[in-house]
């Protein structure tokens, strides 16, 4: 029974000894919260030297300012309006319209070309990896499924190369057309001169 009393007394003493630490921790948390509030108020009142973006001061307006190249449609209309202002005649206006259309077509063809380049690159890498894996296995000549897969991938790579060449040819032709239209517009005399 003495052991039980000693255990109970020891437990009560440990509990009472821990109370000041708990009270101090609560007091510290409250003082930290108070300090944070005071600091935030001071920052609001202090003059700001430079803007620092935080979640609190990010703009939420719907308008977005974009810096970069204009959309292709805008570039084509700008070229058309510039050419029309420079020449002022209907034949040059037709040339300017043709130039704007060719510029838009060139932009689309260039996007297609870039996409085909990426597709070809991926297909070539896949073929290379599968080829390395196929030829890296012992007795690879007996693996008919692996050989069929490599053959199919090689034909895909060849088809993508041909499509890429055709797209490059289209881009080159459109660029030549644009160059000739630009030369034609530059050589046309300006009637306002």
Q: State the pLDDT confidence band at 122, using cuts at 50, 70 and 90.
A: very high
More confident residue, 31 or 145: 145
Flag whether pLDDT at 127 surpasses 90. Answer: yes
In a domain, 36, yes or no: no
Rounded distance between C-alpha atoms, residue 70 and residue 104, angstroms: 12
Dist CA 140 CA 135 (whole Å): 6
| Residue 129 located in a structural domain | yes
Per-residue confidence (pLDDT) for residue 172, from 0 to 100: 92
Whether pLDDT at 147 is above 60: yes
Residue 150 lies in a domain: yes
CB-based contacts of 92, cutoff 8 Å, min separation 6: 83, 84, 86, 185, 188
Mean pLDDT of the chain: 77
Share of the chain above pLDDT 70, in %: 67
- The mean pLDDT value for 149-161 works out to 93
Asked which of 32-36, 100-104, 168-172 is least confident by mean pLDDT, the reply is 32-36
Q: Is 167 part of any domain?
A: yes
Question: Looking at per-residue confidence, does 116 or 18 come out higher?
Answer: 116
Give 43 or 125, the one with higher predicted confidence. Answer: 125
Which pLDDT band holds residue 87 (cuts at 50, 70, 90)?
Answer: very low
Per-residue confidence (pLDDT) for residue 124, from 0 to 100: 92
d(CA 87, CA 91): 9
Question: Which ranges constitute the DSSP H helices of 46-143?
Answer: 72-87, 90-136
Q: What's the Cα-to-Cα distance from 88 to each of 43, 80, 132, rounded to whole Å? A: 61, 11, 63
* Kind plus residue range of the DSSP H or E element containing 156: helix 144-187
Task: Choose between 98 and 164: higher pLDDT.
Answer: 164
Residue 30 pLDDT: 67
User: Does residue 7 form part of some domain?
Assistant: no
Residue pLDDT, tens place only, 24-70: 555 555 677 788 888 888 777 766 666 677 777 766 665 655 565 55
Yes or no: say if 58 and 157 are a contact pair by the CB < 8 Å rule. Answer: no
How far is it, in rounded angstroms, from Cα 168 to Cα 190? Answer: 35
In-domain check, residue 40 = no
Largest CA distance in the chain: 121
Which residue in 120, 124, 122, 148 sits closest to 134, CA to CA?
Answer: 148
Q: Hey, is 68 helix, strand or coil?
A: coil
Number of domains in the chain: 1
Is 38 a domain residue? no
Rounded to 10 deg, the angle between the 144-187 and 72-87 helix axes is: 20
Domain that holds residue 111: 103-187
Whole-angstrom distance, CA of residue 73 vs CA of residue 82: 14
């Amino acid at each position: 029974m003495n052991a039980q009393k000693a255990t109970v007394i020891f437990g009560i003493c440990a509990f009472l000894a821990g109370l000041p630490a708990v009270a101090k921790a609560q007091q510290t948390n409250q003082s930290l919260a108070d300090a944070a509030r005071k600091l935030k108020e001071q920052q609001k009142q202090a003059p700001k030297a430079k803007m620092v973006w935080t979640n609190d001061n990010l703009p939420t307006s719907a308008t977005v300012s974009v810096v970069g190249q204009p959309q292709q449609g805008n570039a084509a209309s700008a070229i058309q309006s510039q050419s029309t202002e420079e020449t002022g005649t209907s034949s040059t206006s037709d040339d300017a319209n043709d130039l704007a259309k060719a510029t838009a077509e060139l932009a689309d063809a260039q996007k297609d070309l870039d996409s085909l380049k990426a597709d070809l690159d991926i297909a070539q890498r896949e073929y290379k990896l599968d080829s390395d894996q196929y030829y890296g296995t012992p007795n690879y000549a007996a693996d008919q499924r692996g050989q069929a897969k490599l053959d199919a991938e090689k034909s895909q790579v060849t088809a993508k190369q041909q499509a890429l060449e055709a797209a490059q040819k289209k881009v080159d032709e459109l660029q030549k057309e644009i160059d000739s239209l630009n030369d034609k517009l530059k050589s046309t005399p300006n009637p306002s001169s």
